[in-house]
Structure 1
Amino acid sequence: MVSALTLICVLLPLAFASEGGHEWNYGNCAHWGDADPKCFGKQQSPIALVTSESTTPQLAPLKFTNYDKALFGTINLSNNGHSVEFSVPKTVKGDLPTISGGNLPGKFEAVGVHFHWGSKGVKGSEHTVDGRQFDAEMHIVHKNVKYASVPEAVEHADGLAVLGVLFEAPKTLTRTYPALSEIFDRLPKLVDYQSTTPLKKTMSLSHLLGDLHTTKFFSYSGSLTTPGCGEAVTWHVFPEPLQISMEHLQNFWGIKDAHGQPLVNNFRPLQDRNDRPLYYNNA
């Protein structure tokens, strides 16, 4: 059974790795499985999302419940040594935002959000779309409501669901998203490991999706992308990126890890798909 501390580490990555307490980083990805054997599994993430290798079943639309409701209280961003993240609180109505439909085996409640990025000259998304890597990627992590806790959920193939949102920094910015901009503006407050900073404006999770066409997505069964690597995730990745300014992207590059070193290129390399079904919904 994976400990609660482990699950915090692998789901919303914190300073230390999972079982056994070994320290991990993105420079030793090939050896994660030495301490966490699941990282050598056959259903690992991320993967290359290739339209020509996907099937196009008639999937139901993703259903977002309470995603448009304001989240209650102060949301605190934090630098956990591997990423920038925040936990998702209940809405002002007392409910958690949930998703269902799509390729999901049930209803899933949001638990946290974190980011992956690159560095100068290096793209930082974890998934690629038709061979293209993007500048950054945001993960909105959810737990199946039928399980009482995240540690329980990660032990089951239908335990977790992650929405992957891609970002690109165009030469000319034509779109901005206020809630995301506030997050990106606060990043200079998170340079040091374990630093936190509050968001000052009220937001809902739908604000993080910008103007995405949420009916268009890739979906497959995979894993968490940090040590622990539990194969418990139903992924939905939106192939059309949101825009991010170069200034905001560079704010990510200034973050430091637990050793005071630049926290850059915090993305796991692509993993073999191993003939897993890959679905593409383009409704």
Structure 2
Amino acid sequence: MLLAPVLFLFVSSMKMVSGADWCYQSQVTCNHTCTGPEEWGAISQHCSGRVQSPVNIVTRKLKRDERLTPFEFTGYQETFHGRLINNGHSVQLDLPPSIKIKDANLTATYKALQLHLHWGKDGGPGSEHTIDGERLPGEMHIVHIKEEYDSLAEASKDSMGVAVLGFFFQESKSANKKYDPLINALKNITEPNNSTELRGVSLEMLTLPQKNMTKYFRYDGSLTTPDCAEAVVWTLFEDTIPLSMKQLTAFSQLLFSDQKQMVNTYRPVQPLNGRQVYYSGGHVALVSTGLLIMSVLVSNALSLHTTG
């Protein structure tokens, strides 16, 4: 039931990483005005590590893990007021720490810190993780840290200190009304460091119904921006979140810290280096966009033949 279309953090345990130190490939020019993804290792040695994210998920190589039970969500249904900011690299929504997750084979209770998004250009491919080599229109990351820690920097020193829930976006014909508050607020934060208050939203509105959150992929990795700390337990949900092309395109109105159009905000996929990606469900329902289109065409052809 998936795929087609279906978001960081910086703070180094060694040094503070400023926004001017790194950029996405879409910002790199021939005179190298900023440090692109291929050279992030020069900013933080973690970025050259062997347990980096994002990765390409190869569905035929997934291994089912019975320990990947359903999550227990706390506060996901509660509405809150949060600061939405253009931080020069993405759009980020600060979350109240009363929002928590546990179970699902996590070793502790994790509290929410923030969520952010990654996208392409004008609705094009923009997810960080890929599935069978396919990049989806976008990806949202909800960042949590272990309850015992006070900051991302502190949690990043623990190899399992951070838990990120990832959701893929999928293009749909109709708009996702639950995303209207966020999409409409983007026009107020087009410039870097602009912020606005997002009122009356809940994580349940922005994610999936909890009954659809039992099928997911799990692997150990890193933050996907410098300092690339290898401290993340990654969970990527199989079911996608639908957004219309107009909604997906709205993110491209934002500007990077260098005033360029904020597009293609993703890090290239990193080698697995022997890591295993696990799956919580039985049969993997993911199919490629090409196969999906082909099945629709065949179905339509059969329908026309039958009625004709």
TM tier, shorter chain?
0.7 to 0.9
Report how many aligned residue pairs link the two structures: 260
Instruction: List aligned pairs for 1:131-280, cutoff 5 A.
Output: 131-170=133-172, 172-173=173-174, 176-178=176-178, 180-200=179-199, 202-211=200-209, 213-280=212-279
1:177–1:207 CA contact under 8 A, matched in 2: no
Amino acid in structure 2 at the alignment position of 1:263: M
Higher Cα radius of gyration = 2
Please give the alpha-carbon distance, in whole angstroms, between the structure 2 residues aligned to 1:21 and 1:136: 22
Q: SS of 2:239's equivalent?
A: strand
CA 1:121 to 1:98, structure 2 compared with 1: closer, same or farther past 3 Å? closer
Please give the alpha-carbon distance, in whole angstroms, between the structure 2 residues aligned to 1:274 and 1:183: 37
Q: SS of 1:63's equivalent?
A: strand
Amino acid in structure 2 at the alignment position of 1:60: T
Instruction: Choose the corresponding residue for 1:63, options 72, 79, 82.
Output: 72
1:185–1:248 CA contact under 8 A, matched in 2: no
Instruction: State the Cα distance separating 1:277 from its structure 2 match.
Output: 1.9
2:217–2:277 CA contact under 8 A, matched in 1: yes
Provide Cα deviations, 1:143-191, integer angstroms capped at 9, x if missing partner: 0113243221100111000000110223x22x6242x221012112111
Amino acid in structure 1 at the alignment position of 2:248: L
Please give the alpha-carbon distance, in whole angstroms, between the structure 1 residues aligned to 2:19 and 2:202: 35
Q: Find the counterpart in structure 2 of residue 84 from structure 1.
A: 91
**Any runs of at least 4 consecutive aligned residues in structure 1 with deviations exceeding 6 A, and if so which?**
none
1:154–1:160 CA contact under 8 A, matched in 2: yes
Q: Find the counterpart in structure 1 of residue 3 from structure 2.
A: none
CA 1:121 to 1:139, structure 2 compared with 1: closer, same or farther past 3 Å? closer
1:18–1:227 CA contact under 8 A, matched in 2: no
Please give the alpha-carbon distance, in whole angstroms, between the structure 2 residues aligned to 1:181 and 1:20: 32
Please give the alpha-carbon distance, in whole angstroms, between the structure 2 residues aligned to 1:279 and 1:239: 12
2:10–2:17 CA contact under 8 A, matched in 1: no
Please give the alpha-carbon distance, in whole angstroms, between the structure 2 residues aligned to 1:188 and 1:121: 17
Instruction: State the Cα distance separating 1:20 from its structure 2 match.
Output: 7.5
CA 1:82 to 1:20, structure 2 compared with 1: closer, same or farther past 3 Å? closer
Query: Structure 1 residue 33 and structure 2 residue 41: aligned?
Result: yes
Q: Find the counterpart in structure 2 of residue 46 from structure 1.
A: 54
Unpaired segments ≥5 residues, structure 2: 1-7, 26-35, 283-308
1:97–1:109 CA contact under 8 A, matched in 2: yes
CA 1:121 to 1:247, structure 2 compared with 1: closer, same or farther past 3 Å? closer
CA 1:84 to 1:56, structure 2 compared with 1: closer, same or farther past 3 Å? same
TM-align CA RMSD = 2.0
CA 1:61 to 1:21, structure 2 compared with 1: closer, same or farther past 3 Å? closer
Q: Find the counterpart in structure 2 of residue 93 from structure 1.
A: none
Q: SS of 1:169's equivalent?
A: strand
Instruction: List aligned pairs for 1:99-118, cutoff 5 A.
Output: 99-118=101-120
Please give the alpha-carbon distance, in whole angstroms, between the structure 2 residues aligned to 1:20 and 1:189: 24
Amino acid in structure 2 at the alignment position of 1:25: C
Give me the TM-score of the superposition, normalised by structure 1: 0.86
Please give the alpha-carbon distance, in whole angstroms, between the structure 2 residues aligned to 1:249 and 1:164: 17
